Amino acid sequence: MIFYFVYGLATLSLIFLTMMMTKRHIRRSDEHRLDTYQKDLLAKHYDEIQNIYHKMRGWRHDYHNHIQTMKAHLALHQTDELKAYLDMLDHDLEAVDTVIKTGNIKLDAILNSKLSLIASSNIQVNAKAQVPARLTVNDVDLCIIIGNLLDNALESCRALLSNPQPFIRIYIGIFKKQLYLSVTNSAPEKLRKTGIGRYLSTKGIGHGFGLKRIDTLVRKYGGYLNRQNEPGVFATEIILPL
């Protein structure tokens, strides 16, 4: 009798130990996957920013030649040609110009790199952003949140037909002494949900790390997160303490 009791206890202990080890392995695996995703995301953002930087360097390098060309048109009284050349330069400059200045250099970099991608995808965008000089939220964490929000919005808009033209609206500011983030974008008529406030990525099963990363970081700072899906529109609101 004692033997069976000891044997049963040992078996239960082994089962419990196996469950604990399995749970720990799954947790470590999830953490590793999220860490890999974050590193890949930061690398992607770095490449986007570098692309804009190289465009700016190229434009500055050609600045002297542009001046000489305009002087030549002016000397020959070629006003139509000069106007056409100026229009071309204006269009080129729009592609590299900083359109958002929040007061935070890192946030400016990620916002403007994403806005450049959005504009090149023929998506109507309206953006307004301003943040205080000092934030409770780590700059890197804030950039990850914003980067993921805009990546998801861009992904959603690209999945739609161009008629009507898809849109993305971005607002970042102070609301009741807290940092308020809002991204509203065009979306399919109805998105699939996995639970309360949880939506599946439009990329399908196996994706959605961006959404999980946002959730994790908002919880980290004790913030508030709200996602809403209306016909043709998806909206995300985040409030973080200052």
pLDDT tens for 3-27 read: 444 444 455 555 555 566 666 656 6
Residue holding tokens 């033209």? Answer: 165
Beta bridge partners of 186: 233
pLDDT values of the chain reduced to their tens digit, one per residue, 242 residues: 544 444 444 555 555 555 666 666 566 666 666 666 666 666 666 666 666 666 666 666 677 788 888 888 888 888 898 888 888 877 766 555 556 888 888 888 888 888 888 887 888 899 999 998 888 999 889 988 999 999 999 988 988 866 688 999 999 999 988 999 999 999 877 665 555 555 555 554 434 678 888 999 999 999 999 999 888 899 999 999 98
Q: d(Cα 182, Cα 223) in Å, to the nearest integer? A: 13
**CA dihedral of 12, 16, 21, 24, whole degrees rounded to 10:** 170
Number of H helices, E strands in the chain: 6, 7
Query: Of 3.30.565.10, 3.10.20.30, 3.40.190.10, 2.40.390.10, which CATH number belongs to 98-242?
Result: 3.30.565.10
Q: Is the pTM of this model over 0.85?
A: no
Helix axes 2-61, 139-158, angle to 10 degrees: 80
The token duo for 5 is 């009791």
The token duo for 48 is 């986007």
Residues 6+ positions from 144 with CB-CB distance below 8 Å:
38, 41, 42, 213, 217
Q: d(Cα 189, Cα 53) in Å, to the nearest integer? A: 37
Sign of CA dihedral 218, 224, 228, 233: negative
pLDDT tens for 176-203 read: 889 999 999 998 776 655 555 555 555 5
Domain ranges of the chain: 1-57, 62-97, 98-242
Closest among 155, 185, 172 to 110, alpha carbons compared: 172
